[in-house]
Structure 1
Protein backbone atom coordinates (compact mmCIF):
# COMPACT_ATOMS: atom_id res chain seq x y z
CA UNK A 1 0.00 0.00 0.00
CA UNK A 2 1.42 3.38 -1.03
CA UNK A 3 0.49 6.52 0.87
CA UNK A 4 1.08 9.77 -0.97
CA UNK A 5 1.30 13.08 0.90
CA UNK A 6 -0.61 15.82 -0.88
CA UNK A 7 -1.43 19.45 -0.24
CA UNK A 8 -5.00 20.28 0.66
CA UNK A 9 -5.41 22.26 -2.55
CA UNK A 10 -4.17 19.39 -4.70
CA UNK A 11 -6.37 16.94 -2.81
CA UNK A 12 -9.44 19.04 -3.58
CA UNK A 13 -8.53 19.34 -7.26
CA UNK A 14 -7.79 15.63 -7.60
CA UNK A 15 -11.07 14.71 -5.93
CA UNK A 16 -12.93 17.12 -8.20
CA UNK A 17 -11.32 15.46 -11.22
CA UNK A 18 -12.30 12.01 -9.93
CA UNK A 19 -15.91 13.12 -9.51
CA UNK A 20 -15.96 14.77 -12.92
CA UNK A 21 -14.85 11.47 -14.48
CA UNK A 22 -18.10 9.85 -13.40
CA UNK A 23 -21.27 9.75 -15.52
CA UNK A 24 -21.71 13.39 -16.61
CA UNK A 25 -25.47 13.38 -17.26
CA UNK A 26 -26.86 11.96 -14.02
CA UNK A 27 -26.97 12.78 -10.35
CA UNK A 28 -23.88 11.87 -8.36
CA UNK A 29 -24.28 11.06 -4.65
CA UNK A 30 -20.98 11.54 -2.83
CA UNK A 31 -20.18 10.71 0.81
CA UNK A 32 -17.42 12.62 2.59
CA UNK A 33 -17.12 10.47 5.69
CA UNK A 34 -15.06 11.17 8.78
CA UNK A 35 -15.09 12.14 12.46
CA UNK A 36 -15.56 15.76 13.41
CA UNK A 37 -11.84 15.94 14.21
CA UNK A 38 -11.16 15.29 10.50
CA UNK A 39 -13.65 18.02 9.49
CA UNK A 40 -15.33 16.25 6.55
CA UNK A 41 -17.59 19.28 6.12
CA UNK A 42 -14.61 21.49 5.30
CA UNK A 43 -13.48 19.15 2.53
CA UNK A 44 -17.00 18.94 1.12
CA UNK A 45 -17.30 22.73 1.20
CA UNK A 46 -13.95 23.09 -0.55
CA UNK A 47 -15.18 20.89 -3.42
CA UNK A 48 -18.20 23.05 -4.22
CA UNK A 49 -16.53 25.78 -6.27
CA UNK A 50 -14.12 23.51 -8.21
CA UNK A 51 -17.04 21.30 -9.27
CA UNK A 52 -19.16 24.27 -10.27
CA UNK A 53 -16.24 25.72 -12.22
CA UNK A 54 -16.03 22.40 -14.06
CA UNK A 55 -19.73 22.68 -14.97
CA UNK A 56 -21.50 20.54 -12.37
CA UNK A 57 -24.23 21.97 -10.12
CA UNK A 58 -23.66 21.11 -6.45
CA UNK A 59 -25.96 20.65 -3.45
CA UNK A 60 -24.41 20.38 0.02
CA UNK A 61 -25.91 18.16 2.69
CA UNK A 62 -24.64 17.86 6.26
CA UNK A 63 -25.79 15.00 8.46
CA UNK A 64 -26.02 17.40 11.41
CA UNK A 65 -29.26 18.45 9.72
CA UNK A 66 -30.48 14.85 9.74
CA UNK A 67 -30.40 14.05 13.44
CA UNK A 68 -32.95 11.94 15.23
CA UNK A 69 -35.08 13.73 17.86
CA UNK A 70 -33.37 14.48 21.18
CA UNK A 71 -35.75 12.14 22.98
CA UNK A 72 -34.26 9.29 20.93
CA UNK A 73 -30.63 10.47 20.78
CA UNK A 74 -30.38 11.20 24.47
CA UNK A 75 -32.50 8.38 25.86
CA UNK A 76 -29.44 6.68 27.34
CA UNK A 77 -27.53 9.84 28.25
CA UNK A 78 -25.90 12.77 26.51
CA UNK A 79 -22.52 11.09 26.17
CA UNK A 80 -23.32 7.48 25.26
CA UNK A 81 -21.00 6.32 22.45
CA UNK A 82 -23.21 3.34 21.64
CA UNK A 83 -26.17 5.61 20.95
CA UNK A 84 -23.96 7.90 18.89
CA UNK A 85 -22.77 4.92 16.87
CA UNK A 86 -26.18 3.45 16.11
CA UNK A 87 -28.94 5.94 16.94
CA UNK A 88 -27.77 9.51 16.54
CA UNK A 89 -28.38 10.16 12.85
CA UNK A 90 -31.59 9.66 10.89
CA UNK A 91 -30.18 7.47 8.15
CA UNK A 92 -33.67 6.42 7.04
CA UNK A 93 -34.60 10.08 6.61
CA UNK A 94 -31.39 10.81 4.70
CA UNK A 95 -32.12 7.91 2.35
CA UNK A 96 -35.79 8.81 1.92
CA UNK A 97 -35.38 12.55 1.45
CA UNK A 98 -32.00 12.82 -0.32
CA UNK A 99 -30.31 9.69 -1.59
CA UNK A 100 -33.25 7.73 -2.98
CA UNK A 101 -34.79 10.70 -4.86
CA UNK A 102 -31.36 11.28 -6.44
CA UNK A 103 -30.90 7.60 -7.27
CA UNK A 104 -32.01 5.57 -10.28
CA UNK A 105 -35.66 6.22 -11.02
CA UNK A 106 -35.88 8.85 -8.28
CA UNK A 107 -37.96 11.99 -8.44
CA UNK A 108 -34.98 14.36 -8.40
CA UNK A 109 -36.60 16.40 -5.64
CA UNK A 110 -34.77 16.45 -2.32
CA UNK A 111 -34.92 17.97 1.15
CA UNK A 112 -31.61 19.51 2.18
CA UNK A 113 -32.39 19.79 5.90
CA UNK A 114 -34.74 17.51 7.80
CA UNK A 115 -34.20 18.37 11.47
CA UNK A 116 -33.38 21.58 13.32
CA UNK A 117 -31.24 20.50 16.27
CA UNK A 118 -31.42 23.87 18.01
CA UNK A 119 -35.22 23.75 18.23
CA UNK A 120 -35.49 19.93 18.18
CA UNK A 121 -38.20 20.20 15.57
CA UNK A 122 -38.65 19.34 11.93
CA UNK A 123 -36.86 21.90 9.78
CA UNK A 124 -39.77 22.15 7.31
CA UNK A 125 -37.48 23.09 4.44
CA UNK A 126 -39.23 22.77 1.07
CA UNK A 127 -38.05 20.27 -1.48
CA UNK A 128 -35.83 21.46 -4.29
CA UNK A 129 -35.58 20.07 -7.79
CA UNK A 130 -32.15 18.93 -8.91
CA UNK A 131 -30.52 19.71 -12.19
CA UNK A 132 -29.92 16.30 -13.86
CA UNK A 133 -26.13 16.76 -13.51
CA UNK A 134 -26.14 17.70 -9.82
CA UNK A 135 -23.44 16.43 -7.45
CA UNK A 136 -24.79 15.92 -3.93
CA UNK A 137 -21.97 16.27 -1.41
CA UNK A 138 -23.02 14.65 1.87
CA UNK A 139 -20.62 15.12 4.78
CA UNK A 140 -20.64 13.64 8.25
CA UNK A 141 -19.48 10.79 10.48
CA UNK A 142 -20.30 7.08 10.31
CA UNK A 143 -21.77 7.31 6.81
CA UNK A 144 -20.48 4.07 5.32
CA UNK A 145 -21.38 0.44 5.73
CA UNK A 146 -25.07 0.96 6.47
CA UNK A 147 -26.38 0.49 2.95
CA UNK A 148 -26.88 4.16 2.12
CA UNK A 149 -27.02 4.78 -1.62
CA UNK A 150 -23.81 6.61 -2.43
CA UNK A 151 -22.17 6.51 -5.83
CA UNK A 152 -18.73 7.66 -4.62
CA UNK A 153 -17.38 7.35 -1.08
CA UNK A 154 -14.50 9.28 0.46
CA UNK A 155 -13.29 8.24 3.92
CA UNK A 156 -11.11 10.46 6.09
CA UNK A 157 -9.08 8.09 8.25
CA UNK A 158 -7.53 8.96 11.62
CA UNK A 159 -5.51 6.83 14.02
CA UNK A 160 -6.69 6.38 17.58
CA UNK A 161 -3.96 8.67 18.84
CA UNK A 162 -4.91 11.42 16.40
CA UNK A 163 -8.57 11.08 17.31
CA UNK A 164 -7.78 11.49 20.98
CA UNK A 165 -5.48 14.45 20.36
CA UNK A 166 -7.70 16.32 17.94
CA UNK A 167 -11.20 15.66 19.24
CA UNK A 168 -12.35 18.55 21.46
CA UNK A 169 -12.74 17.64 25.12
CA UNK A 170 -16.52 18.11 24.97
CA UNK A 171 -16.76 15.54 22.15
CA UNK A 172 -14.19 13.02 23.36
CA UNK A 173 -16.94 10.68 24.49
CA UNK A 174 -17.58 9.96 20.77
CA UNK A 175 -14.11 8.46 20.20
CA UNK A 176 -15.13 4.89 21.20
CA UNK A 177 -17.83 5.04 18.53
CA UNK A 178 -15.25 5.85 15.85
CA UNK A 179 -12.91 3.11 17.05
CA UNK A 180 -15.80 0.65 16.90
CA UNK A 181 -16.66 1.91 13.40
CA UNK A 182 -13.09 1.36 12.24
CA UNK A 183 -13.09 -2.19 13.62
CA UNK A 184 -16.60 -3.37 12.73
CA UNK A 185 -17.28 -1.52 9.48
CA UNK A 186 -13.66 -0.98 8.33
CA UNK A 187 -14.56 1.84 5.92
CA UNK A 188 -10.93 2.25 4.86
CA UNK A 189 -11.09 -1.23 3.32
CA UNK A 190 -13.79 -0.39 0.78
CA UNK A 191 -14.21 3.38 0.36
CA UNK A 192 -13.47 4.61 -3.15
CA UNK A 193 -11.00 7.17 -1.81
CA UNK A 194 -9.18 6.98 1.52
CA UNK A 195 -7.33 9.99 2.88
CA UNK A 196 -5.27 9.81 6.05
CA UNK A 197 -5.66 12.97 8.09
CA UNK A 198 -3.86 12.44 11.38
CA UNK A 199 -2.80 16.02 10.75
CA UNK A 200 -5.55 17.62 8.63
CA UNK A 201 -3.06 20.23 7.42
CA UNK A 202 -1.01 17.46 5.79
CA UNK A 203 -3.36 14.87 4.24
CA UNK A 204 -2.07 11.73 2.56
CA UNK A 205 -3.91 9.70 -0.06
CA UNK A 206 -3.90 5.90 -0.06
CA UNK A 207 -3.12 5.62 -3.76
CA UNK A 208 -4.41 2.11 -4.38
CA UNK A 209 -7.95 3.47 -3.89
CA UNK A 210 -7.76 5.81 -6.90
Structure 2
Protein backbone atom coordinates (compact mmCIF):
# COMPACT_ATOMS: atom_id res chain seq x y z
CA UNK A 1 0.00 0.00 0.00
CA UNK A 2 1.37 3.37 -1.01
CA UNK A 3 1.58 5.94 1.75
CA UNK A 4 0.40 9.50 1.05
CA UNK A 5 3.33 11.59 -0.24
CA UNK A 6 3.57 13.92 2.76
CA UNK A 7 6.85 15.75 3.45
CA UNK A 8 7.56 13.22 6.23
CA UNK A 9 6.96 10.20 3.98
CA UNK A 10 9.09 11.73 1.21
CA UNK A 11 11.96 12.33 3.68
CA UNK A 12 11.65 8.77 4.98
CA UNK A 13 11.62 7.36 1.44
CA UNK A 14 14.91 9.15 0.80
CA UNK A 15 16.39 7.55 3.94
CA UNK A 16 15.14 4.10 2.86
CA UNK A 17 16.77 4.69 -0.54
CA UNK A 18 20.07 5.61 1.12
CA UNK A 19 19.96 2.52 3.35
CA UNK A 20 19.18 0.28 0.37
CA UNK A 21 22.10 1.83 -1.53
CA UNK A 22 24.36 0.76 1.35
CA UNK A 23 22.79 -2.70 1.77
CA UNK A 24 20.68 -3.68 -1.26
CA UNK A 25 20.19 -7.33 -0.24
CA UNK A 26 20.36 -9.57 2.79
CA UNK A 27 19.27 -8.85 6.31
CA UNK A 28 19.58 -5.19 7.23
CA UNK A 29 19.54 -3.57 10.67
CA UNK A 30 18.88 0.16 10.97
CA UNK A 31 19.36 1.95 14.30
CA UNK A 32 17.42 5.12 15.16
CA UNK A 33 19.20 6.93 17.99
CA UNK A 34 18.67 10.28 19.61
CA UNK A 35 17.83 10.69 23.27
CA UNK A 36 14.18 9.99 23.95
CA UNK A 37 11.38 10.09 21.41
CA UNK A 38 12.86 7.84 18.73
CA UNK A 39 9.98 5.35 18.61
CA UNK A 40 7.62 7.39 16.41
CA UNK A 41 10.34 8.07 13.84
CA UNK A 42 11.40 4.40 13.83
CA UNK A 43 7.77 3.26 13.47
CA UNK A 44 7.29 5.53 10.47
CA UNK A 45 10.61 4.47 8.93
CA UNK A 46 9.55 0.83 9.27
CA UNK A 47 6.26 1.63 7.50
CA UNK A 48 8.16 3.13 4.57
CA UNK A 49 10.37 0.03 4.37
CA UNK A 50 7.17 -2.05 4.28
CA UNK A 51 5.75 0.21 1.57
CA UNK A 52 8.88 -0.58 -0.46
CA UNK A 53 8.11 -4.29 -0.10
CA UNK A 54 10.53 -5.19 2.71
CA UNK A 55 9.69 -7.73 5.38
CA UNK A 56 10.22 -5.28 8.25
CA UNK A 57 10.42 -5.83 12.00
CA UNK A 58 10.58 -3.34 14.87
CA UNK A 59 12.39 -3.39 18.19
CA UNK A 60 13.43 -0.93 20.86
CA UNK A 61 16.46 -1.06 23.11
CA UNK A 62 14.03 0.03 25.85
CA UNK A 63 12.75 -3.55 25.80
CA UNK A 64 16.22 -4.77 26.77
CA UNK A 65 16.64 -2.98 30.10
CA UNK A 66 18.46 -4.57 32.97
CA UNK A 67 16.45 -5.19 36.19
CA UNK A 68 16.11 -2.17 38.49
CA UNK A 69 17.95 -3.98 41.29
CA UNK A 70 20.98 -4.48 39.02
CA UNK A 71 20.90 -0.88 37.81
CA UNK A 72 20.81 0.53 41.34
CA UNK A 73 23.09 -1.99 43.05
CA UNK A 74 25.64 0.72 43.88
CA UNK A 75 23.07 3.39 44.78
CA UNK A 76 20.51 5.61 43.04
CA UNK A 77 20.71 5.94 39.28
CA UNK A 78 22.96 8.73 38.04
CA UNK A 79 23.42 10.00 34.46
CA UNK A 80 26.69 8.07 34.23
CA UNK A 81 25.11 4.95 35.73
CA UNK A 82 22.16 5.25 33.35
CA UNK A 83 24.54 5.35 30.39
CA UNK A 84 26.72 2.51 31.59
CA UNK A 85 24.24 0.14 33.28
CA UNK A 86 20.70 0.61 31.92
CA UNK A 87 20.59 -1.84 29.04
CA UNK A 88 21.40 -5.52 28.69
CA UNK A 89 23.42 -5.51 25.48
CA UNK A 90 24.42 -9.16 25.93
CA UNK A 91 20.79 -10.24 25.76
CA UNK A 92 20.13 -7.80 22.90
CA UNK A 93 22.84 -9.51 20.87
CA UNK A 94 21.98 -13.06 21.93
CA UNK A 95 18.22 -13.04 21.28
CA UNK A 96 17.83 -10.33 18.62
CA UNK A 97 20.87 -9.15 16.67
CA UNK A 98 22.80 -12.40 16.24
CA UNK A 99 19.83 -14.62 15.33
CA UNK A 100 18.37 -11.93 13.04
CA UNK A 101 21.67 -11.78 11.15
CA UNK A 102 21.77 -15.59 10.79
CA UNK A 103 18.75 -15.53 8.47
CA UNK A 104 17.22 -18.87 7.55
CA UNK A 105 14.61 -20.15 9.98
CA UNK A 106 16.44 -18.96 13.09
CA UNK A 107 14.02 -17.24 15.47
CA UNK A 108 14.71 -13.92 17.18
CA UNK A 109 13.08 -11.96 19.99
CA UNK A 110 12.25 -8.26 19.70
CA UNK A 111 11.82 -7.77 23.47
CA UNK A 112 13.26 -9.35 26.59
CA UNK A 113 12.37 -7.10 29.55
CA UNK A 114 9.40 -4.99 30.68
CA UNK A 115 10.96 -1.98 32.42
CA UNK A 116 7.67 -0.64 33.80
CA UNK A 117 6.90 -3.92 35.59
CA UNK A 118 10.60 -4.70 36.14
CA UNK A 119 10.23 -8.29 34.92
CA UNK A 120 11.43 -10.35 31.94
CA UNK A 121 8.88 -10.70 29.15
CA UNK A 122 7.67 -14.06 27.91
CA UNK A 123 9.61 -15.03 24.81
CA UNK A 124 7.79 -14.40 21.54
CA UNK A 125 9.96 -15.70 18.75
CA UNK A 126 9.74 -14.30 15.23
CA UNK A 127 11.26 -15.35 11.94
CA UNK A 128 11.88 -13.36 8.79
CA UNK A 129 12.81 -13.72 5.15
CA UNK A 130 16.36 -13.51 3.77
CA UNK A 131 16.07 -9.81 2.85
CA UNK A 132 14.29 -8.66 6.01
CA UNK A 133 14.83 -5.30 7.70
CA UNK A 134 15.01 -4.66 11.43
CA UNK A 135 14.49 -1.09 12.63
CA UNK A 136 15.60 -0.65 16.23
CA UNK A 137 15.32 2.58 18.18
CA UNK A 138 16.48 3.94 21.49
CA UNK A 139 19.21 5.66 23.40
CA UNK A 140 22.93 5.01 23.12
CA UNK A 141 22.76 2.83 20.00
CA UNK A 142 25.87 4.46 18.55
CA UNK A 143 28.07 3.65 21.52
CA UNK A 144 31.38 2.10 20.41
CA UNK A 145 30.48 -1.49 21.31
CA UNK A 146 27.26 -1.40 19.26
CA UNK A 147 27.86 0.83 16.25
CA UNK A 148 29.23 -1.98 14.06
CA UNK A 149 26.02 -3.96 14.54
CA UNK A 150 24.03 -1.63 12.27
CA UNK A 151 24.06 -1.53 8.48
CA UNK A 152 22.94 2.09 8.80
CA UNK A 153 22.08 4.49 11.59
CA UNK A 154 19.88 7.56 11.86
CA UNK A 155 20.58 10.10 14.60
CA UNK A 156 17.78 12.49 15.53
CA UNK A 157 19.90 15.53 16.29
CA UNK A 158 17.10 17.57 17.85
CA UNK A 159 16.87 15.23 20.86
CA UNK A 160 19.26 16.17 23.66
CA UNK A 161 21.86 13.51 24.42
CA UNK A 162 23.47 12.82 27.74
CA UNK A 163 26.84 14.56 28.04
CA UNK A 164 28.76 11.37 28.82
CA UNK A 165 27.36 9.72 25.67
CA UNK A 166 28.29 12.72 23.53
CA UNK A 167 31.83 12.70 24.92
CA UNK A 168 32.48 8.95 24.71
CA UNK A 169 30.54 7.94 21.61
CA UNK A 170 30.41 11.11 19.48
CA UNK A 171 27.18 9.94 17.81
CA UNK A 172 26.99 12.90 15.40
CA UNK A 173 30.32 11.89 13.91
CA UNK A 174 29.50 8.21 13.39
CA UNK A 175 25.81 8.20 12.40
CA UNK A 176 25.12 7.34 8.77
CA UNK A 177 22.29 9.89 8.51
CA UNK A 178 21.57 12.98 10.63
CA UNK A 179 17.95 14.18 10.86
CA UNK A 180 16.30 17.10 12.64
CA UNK A 181 12.84 15.80 13.56
CA UNK A 182 11.81 18.78 15.70
CA UNK A 183 8.99 19.36 13.19
CA UNK A 184 7.67 15.79 12.84
CA UNK A 185 5.56 16.81 9.84
CA UNK A 186 8.68 17.69 7.83
CA UNK A 187 11.94 16.16 9.12
CA UNK A 188 15.07 17.70 7.65
CA UNK A 189 18.37 16.04 6.78
CA UNK A 190 21.29 17.72 8.51
CA UNK A 191 24.80 18.05 7.10
CA UNK A 192 27.54 16.24 8.96
CA UNK A 193 29.57 18.57 11.18
CA UNK A 194 33.03 19.49 9.94
CA UNK A 195 35.75 17.49 11.71
CA UNK A 196 38.00 19.54 13.92
Superposition TM-score, scaled by structure 2 size? 0.82
Q: How many residues align?
A: 186
- 1:2-151 matches, within 5 Å, as 7-36=7-36, 39-103=37-101, 108-148=106-146, 149-151=149-151
Q: 1-side partners of 2:192 and 2:101: how far apart?
A: 27
How far 1:30 moved relative to its partner? 0.8
3-state SS of paired residue (2:15): helix
Q: 1:99·1:150 contact (CA, 8 Å) conserved in 2?
A: no
Q: 1:32·1:154 contact (CA, 8 Å) conserved in 2?
A: yes
Question: Which runs of 5 or more structure 1 residues have no equivalent in the other structure?
Answer: 1-6, 164-174
Q: 2:27·2:103 contact (CA, 8 Å) conserved in 1?
A: no
Q: 2:32·2:136 contact (CA, 8 Å) conserved in 1?
A: yes
How far 1:181 moved relative to its partner? 1.0
Aligned CA-pair RMSD: 2.6
How far 1:135 moved relative to its partner? 0.5
3-state SS of paired residue (2:100): coil
How far 1:77 moved relative to its partner? 4.6
How far 1:69 moved relative to its partner? 0.7
Q: 2-side partners of 1:182 and 1:18: how far apart?
A: 25
Superposition TM-score, scaled by structure 1 size? 0.77
Moved over 4 A (4+): 76-79, 104-107, 197-202
Q: 1-side partners of 2:175 and 2:165: how far apart?
A: 13
